[in-house]
Structure 1
Amino acid sequence: MTPTEKDRDILALTLWGEARGESFAGQVAVACVIRNRVNDGKDRSWWGEGYAGVCLKPYQFSCWNKNDPNYPYLSGAKEIPPTQFAQAQRAADLVISGAEPDITNGATHYYATTMPKPPAWAKDATQTFRLGHHIFFKDVP
């Protein structure tokens, strides 16, 4: 499936919502997780179809939860600072095009180190990478 402009926009919004305080490389890493889910080959009902489907799958990326403080920005109720969003768009473009390699080593999950405790799924998963405030994992049961 060829990514659409909607896929790119939703991916960029997700990167801003999930990793706006991270470096460009940190946003690329989150985008790689999403690309790994898009390309995983699992039943699409699990991950979602395409970039937009994966990003918007309920409860997968907290920035899209209606009670998340980022949601008003993602829904358009509040404005995202243009320079911040431009960085997220650039990361989205480079990851979708394949110009950026997978720096996460196949991760399909991550969590922020700012969480009070690691999520239960991380206990039996394989850590692949750490960057900024995110730890990345694959082989999540």
Structure 2
Amino acid sequence: MFKKISMLGIAAVLSFSLPTPSSAEVQTHTVQKGESLYKIATKYGVPAKQVQAMNNKNVASINPGEELQLPVVPSEYEKDLLSRLVEAEAKGESYAGKVAVATVVLNRVQSDLFPDSLHGVIHDGIQFSPVLNGTIKQPASEESVKAVHEALAYQGYDRESLYFYNPDKAQSSYLSSKEVTTRIGNHVFLR
């Protein structure tokens, strides 16, 4: 009996202490009468200008019943996961290249073509070689962590790039059919 209670206690402690893999999902907010972009942004702890940019609003006016997209707000686990992915995918690339790689992942969370969470996008099939080869388990550099923070602050200002690859290391007929949005270092970014 004591052994059974002890095992249940350990299981309970572990369930509360392990990081949750998918808490940052696409969020939307339905505008209520009397709300403003500022009030909504404050409620969710995100910048009002970012909410405005994410919803292609040239002015701050909104209407009751309107559905607004909100920026991804990841948990500490997810920030670390994204930072480790950026480190593994963009090691040796410029800081701008690292920000762009993180931005692609965040754009995918917002896109209907991919899973609705950071964890889901990063672990989506064979999308990212560091997930497949295990290099995502390596710690992120300070620069990769900083790049992720910048990409999070940049959400809504560039939702174009959904793909990237290094043409010297990979060939893809699927990606060659996509429109190039930019080139940074060894990576080509596409939509």
TM-score by length of 2: 0.57
Distance in structure 1 (CA, Å) of the matches to 2:168 and 2:74: 32
SS at match of 1:3: coil
Q: Which residue of 1 aligns with 2:160?
A: 106
Amino acid in the other structure paired with 2:152: I
Change in CA separation of 1:99 and 1:125 when aligned onto 2, cut-off 3 Å:
closer
- The counterpart of 1:53, out of the listed 120, 123, 126, is 120
Q: Which residue of 1 aligns with 2:141?
A: 85
Cα offset, 1:101, TM superposition: 4.5
- The counterpart of 1:21, out of the listed 64, 70, 92, is 92
Query: What are structure 2's unaligned runs of at least 5 residues?
Result: 1-24, 26-72
Cα offset, 1:94, TM superposition: 1.5
Q: How many correspondences in the alignment?
A: 120
Q: Which residue of 2 aligns with 1:119?
A: 172
Cα offset, 1:47, TM superposition: 2.0
Q: Which residue of 1 aligns with 2:110?
A: 39
SS at match of 1:59: coil
Post-superposition CA distance 1:47-94 (Å, at most 9, x none): 2232222112221111110xx3xx2x4325xxx4xxx61111111111
TM-score by length of 1: 0.75
Distance in structure 2 (CA, Å) of the matches to 1:123 and 1:99: 26
The structure number with the bigger radius of gyration is 2
- The counterpart of 1:132, out of the listed 163, 166, 185, is 185
Distance in structure 2 (CA, Å) of the matches to 1:26 and 1:129: 10
Change in CA separation of 1:101 and 1:24 when aligned onto 2, cut-off 3 Å:
farther
Q: Which residue of 2 aligns with 1:75?
A: 137
CA contact (8 A) 1:6 1:52 kept: no
Amino acid in the other structure paired with 1:74: I
Q: Which residue of 2 aligns with 1:9?
A: 80
SS at match of 1:47: coil
Distance in structure 1 (CA, Å) of the matches to 2:156 and 2:93: 17
Cα offset, 1:99, TM superposition: 7.1
